[in-house]
Each structure stands twice: as C-alpha cells, then as structure tokens.
C-alpha cells in the first residue's frame, strides 16, 4: 500500500533564540535544523552565536548572527526590521521562536510578513515582578505552541486556558546513537578519566549541568556531607557561564564541610557519553521543577542509575525503583539515602537496570521522534495556508 500523502510541504524555517550555547533549547534548535536539511529544505537559525554554531553548520543549516538576546524595546524594534529583511532575502516561510526576548520581535516580523509563527514553551518562567506574566505570554502566542513535556503542557493550560486548542506536546529527545554505551570506546573512557584525574577504586557520582543555583549543587553538597564517609568522588560538570561568585561560594562550602578532596568542579565536557561511562550514579537534584531535564534521560540511555528530585519533567522520564530513584524536593536526608542506595547496587543489579533504562528512553525520548513531530507541525501549518 502506498504511504499516505503528507498533509503539507515543509517550509523554509527560521528559528530564533538568544544564543547557541550548550543548553537544551539550543541543542533542540540544531536537531530540528538537521531534520529539515535532511529533507532537502534550506533552513536558518538566528542568534548571537555560541558553541553550537559549529554543530549547526555541520548539519548544513545556516546561522545568521543577530542581537536577539536584547530586551531593550528600541533594539527589539530594530530586530523586527532585521528579521523582516531576512524573511525577504531568504524566502523564509515560517518563524519558530524558542525564547522570550527574540519571540517578541519574531512575532511582529511574522505577522507583518503574513507568516505562520510557532513558539516552543520550554520553561515555567518565573513571574517574580509586575508585568512578567505579560512578558512570558509571548511564548503562548504562537499559531502552534509546542510544550516540551506534559508537565509544561499542564503549566501552559493553567496559565493560558485559551491556548489549549493550539497546544501540542512534543517531548524533548536525545541522540540514542550518541548516548549508547556500546559505541563508547575504552580509549575515550580512559582519556576522560585521565583528564579528570580520576582516583582509582572510588565510585563516581556525577552532576552534569551549568553552575547555577537552582540546579542544586549546594543541595547535593549537603547530602554528600551526610553520607558520613568520603568513599566516593563527585564531579560537577558544567560551565559557570560568568557566575564566578556562585562558583566561589560553592567551592567555599565544599571546603567548609570537609569534602574538598571528594567534590571536584570541571568545565564543559564535549564527550558526555564517555563521562557517563565513568559514573556509578548520576544525580539531578534541581531545586526548581525542570521543564524536561535531559540529564536523567541521557544517563538512562547510557544504562546508569539516576537520582532526581520528584517534580517537573523528571516525573515523566524516570521509573521510580526501576530506572532510578526520586526524592522529595528539599529533603537532604532522602537525597543522601537515595545516593547511598544507588552506590550500593551490586553488579547484577546494575546489569539488569541498564538495558531496561535504555529501552525506556528509546521508546519515547529520541531525537528522531521529536524532529518528526516538529516537522509535522510545520507541514500542518503550511497545509492550512
């Protein structure tokens, strides 16, 4: 039987975001751009640049440098003009905004040029001062609003009930070929161990993620201090992104609780698959609910047990007691106990967990599923024009 025809063709898409750093929003933009170019469609990403520009160019997408991180009203207006010029120069047919500041300019440009406008709502976005909810509302103004988890979809419906008929849930995805223990050579693992000066014979606790307070580094320090022993080495893996004051505060606390020899802060890691191979347990102790949270998903794909906070997107991606452990938010004793339980897993328990965790991820949270679902949104909008 012949395949059903697509509901519409793929458009030339311009994705806009503040910068192309190493975060999940940025990685998703690159993945979707790669999906479009694989279908033979010229595609564009506009941002202020960053580490992932190289990755974007490797998938044959074009990066356009624009000052899209600005929140200055005058510069936002100037960005509308810049985006409209890009639309005309490159024949853009759809604009997809992935962050709030550029979304304000992007929506105006899309409306002025008569183009479909898509947003991805990828966070809970705090509302800690007057006018913030109106500022955040731009992410609920797309012709289609994509939520990157069921948790975020529920949050959007609660905040903006009128969006319900335009809301689509497309869970984030990871590259399970990249995060595949069978594809990580022993040489890569050895190189990572040497780079990190990994001591022999100690179990490894890993907390990947940028150094920012809400990721829970300090909370984990408190939990590790409660273990009552130093028979481990813990790595905080991620850039401080200019938060030198927080890093100094964290280093001071580590020294104060007597764990200066056991907890180490390392910079951005370009081979996270090899890093996960070193880990005996991966911890994601976020203080605020994660919209999705890719770290536990990557770790499970690598067959590693995870310990995460019981809120937000983590509840969707971890099977309690099977692929990891969930602990109540703010409960340092529970976090310490869960980490110790994970460290105590014997070889047979780890061998049983690994394929189950990987199969769990492969069922739902893959780049292929995420990209295919996003391209379907684009096709649907073109079919409706």
DSSP, residue by residue, 66-104: --TT---HHHHHHHHHHHHHHHHHHT--EEEE-SHHHHH
What was the pLDDT predicted at 200?
92
Band of the pLDDT at 5, cuts 50, 70, 90?
very low
Q: Which domain holds residue 29?
A: 13-173+366-383
Judge if 255 and 356 occupy the same domain.
yes
Residue 127 pLDDT exceeds 90 = no
Question: Could you write out the DSSP letters of every residue in 150-162?
Answer: HHHHHHHHHH-GG
Which pLDDT band holds residue 7 (cuts at 50, 70, 90)? Answer: low
Residue 284 lies in a domain: yes
Is the residue at 5 inside a domain?
Answer: no
What average pLDDT does range 154-181 have in this prediction?
95
Q: What is the pLDDT of residue 80?
A: 97
Same domain, 104 and 231: no
Taking the C-alpha atoms of residue 207 and residue 217, their distance in angstroms, rounded to an integer, is: 8
Do 50 and 145 fall within a single domain? yes
Per mean pLDDT, which range of 82-86, 130-134, 289-293 is the poorest?
130-134
Banded model confidence at residue 63, pLDDT cuts 50, 70, 90: very high
CATH of the domain at 222: 3.40.50.2000
Residue for token pair 């347990």: 281
8 located within any domain: no
On whether residue 2 sits in a domain, the answer given is no
3-state secondary structure at position 168: strand
Task: Report the range of poorest mean pLDDT among 153-167, 238-252, 268-282.
Answer: 238-252
Whether 97 contacts 122, CB under 8 Å: no
Residue 4 has what pLDDT? 44
**Is residue 3 assigned to a domain?**
no
Any residues with CB less than 8 A from the CB of 98 and at least 6 apart, and which?
Answer: 15, 16, 17, 25, 28, 29, 119, 120, 122
Do residue 142 and residue 227 come from a single domain? no
Q: What is the pLDDT of residue 15?
A: 98
Kindly state whether residue 152 falls inside one of the protein's structural domains: yes
Q: Is 160 found in the same domain as 138?
A: yes
- Model confidence band, residue 46 (pLDDT cutoffs 50, 70, 90): very high
Residues 186, 310: one domain? yes
* Domain identity same for 341 and 302: yes
Residue 239: what pLDDT?
Answer: 84
Q: Note the pLDDT of residue 110.
A: 98
Residue among 227, 330, 230, 235 nearest 281 (CA): 235
Whether residues 217 and 111 share a domain: the answer is no
Residue 187 has pLDDT above 90, yes or no: yes
- The residues, ordered by sequence, that sit 6+ positions from 164 with a Cβ below 8 Å of its Cβ are 157
Name the packing angle between helices 347-364 and 294-301 (round to 10°): 120
Q: What is the pLDDT of residue 270?
A: 87
Closest CA to 233 of 210, 256, 254, 212: 254
Q: Which of 253, 298, 249 is nearest to 273 (CA)?
A: 298
Q: Give the span between the Cα atoms of 122 and 145, in whole angstroms.
A: 10
Q: What's the pLDDT at 247?
A: 93
- Helices within the chain (DSSP H only): 24-38, 53-58, 73-90, 100-113, 132-136, 150-159, 186-195, 217-225, 244-256, 272-278, 294-301, 314-317, 332-343, 347-364, 367-383
Placement of tokens 């002025």 in the chain? 112
Do residues 356 and 371 share a domain?
Answer: no
CA dist., res. 302 & res. 356, Å (int) = 11
Whether residue 17 is found in the same domain as residue 156 = yes
Phi, psi values for residue 241, rounded to 5°: 50, 40
Same domain, 217 and 315: yes
The pLDDT of 45-63, averaged and rounded, is 96
User: Span 102-110, mean pLDDT?
Assistant: 98
Q: Residue 36's pLDDT band (boundaries 50, 70, 90)? A: very high
CA-based nearest residue to 232, from 269, 195, 268, 207: 207
Q: Identify the pLDDT of residue 3.
A: 41
> Are residues 228 and 158 both part of a single domain?
no
Categorize the per-residue pLDDT at 6 as very low, low, confident or very high, splitting at 50, 70 and 90: low
Whether residue 331 is predicted with pLDDT greater than 70 in this model: the reply is yes
The Cα–Cα gap between 360 and 356 comes to: 6
- Using a CB cutoff of 8 Å and minimum separation of 24, what contacts does 292-296 make? 292/24, 292/122, 292/148, 292/149, 292/151, 292/152, 292/171, 292/172, 292/317, 293/317, 294/24, 294/27, 294/172, 294/174, 295/208, 295/209, 296/324
166 located within any domain: yes
pLDDT of residue 24: 86
DSSP string over 59-76: TT-EEEE--TT---HHHH
pLDDT number for residue 384: 81
The DSSP-derived string for 6-63 is PSSPPPPEEEE-S---SSHHHHHHHHHHHHHHHTT---EEEES--TTHHHHHHTT-EE
Domain count for the chain: 2
pLDDT band at 202 (very low <50, low <70, confident <90, very high): very high
Instruction: Give a yes or no: residue 4 inside a domain.
Output: no
Q: Is the pLDDT of residue 2 over 90?
A: no
| pLDDT value for 69 | 94
């Amino acid at each position: 039987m012949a395949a059903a025809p697509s509901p519409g063709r793929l458009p030339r898409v311009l994705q806009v975001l503040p910068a192309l750093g190493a975060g999940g929003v940025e990685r998703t933009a690159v993945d979707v751009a790669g999906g479009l170019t694989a279908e033979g469609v010229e595609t564009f990403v506009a941002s202020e640049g960053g580490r992932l520009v190289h990755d974007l160019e490797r998938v044959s997408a074009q990066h356009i440098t624009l000052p899209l991180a600005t929140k200055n009203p005058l510069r936002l207006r100037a960005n509308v003009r810049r985006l409209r010029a890009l639309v005309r120069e490159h024949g853009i047919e759809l604009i997809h905004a992935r962050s709030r500041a550029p979304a304000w300019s992007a929506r105006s440009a899309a409306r002025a040029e008569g183009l479909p406008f898509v947003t991805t709502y990828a966070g809970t976005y705090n509302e800690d001062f007057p006018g913030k909810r109106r500022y955040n509302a731009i992410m609920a103004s797309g012709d289609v609003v994509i939520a990157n988890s069921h948790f975020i979809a529920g949050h959007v419906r609660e905040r903006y009930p009128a969006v319900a008929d335009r809301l689509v849930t497309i869970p984030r995805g990871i590259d399970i070929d990249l995060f595949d223990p069978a594809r990580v050579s022993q040489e890569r693992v050895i190189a990572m161990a040497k780079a990190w000066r990994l001591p022999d014979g100690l179990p490894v606790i890993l907390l990947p993620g940028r150094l920012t307070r809400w990721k829970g580094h300090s909370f984990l320090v408190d939990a590790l201090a409660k273990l009552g022993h130093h028979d481990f080495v813990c790595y905080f893996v991620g850039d401080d992104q200019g938060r030198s004051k927080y890093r100094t505060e964290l280093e001071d606390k580590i020294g104060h609780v007597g764990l200066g020899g056991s907890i180490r802060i390392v910079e951005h890691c370009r081979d996270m698959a090899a890093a996960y191979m070193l880990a005996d347990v991966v911890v994601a102790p976020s203080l605020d609910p994660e919209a999705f949270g890719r770290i536990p998903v990557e770790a499970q794909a690598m067959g590693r047990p995870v310990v995460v906070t019981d809120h937000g997107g983590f509840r969707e991606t971890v099977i309690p007691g099977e692929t990891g452990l969930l602990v109540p938010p703010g409960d340092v004793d529970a976090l310490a106990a869960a980490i110790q339980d994970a460290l105590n897993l014997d070889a047979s328990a780890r061998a049983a967990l690994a394929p189950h965790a990987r199969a769990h991820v492969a069922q739902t949270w893959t780049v292929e599923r995420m990209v295919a679902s996003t391209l379907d949104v684009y096709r649907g909008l073109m079919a409706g024009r």
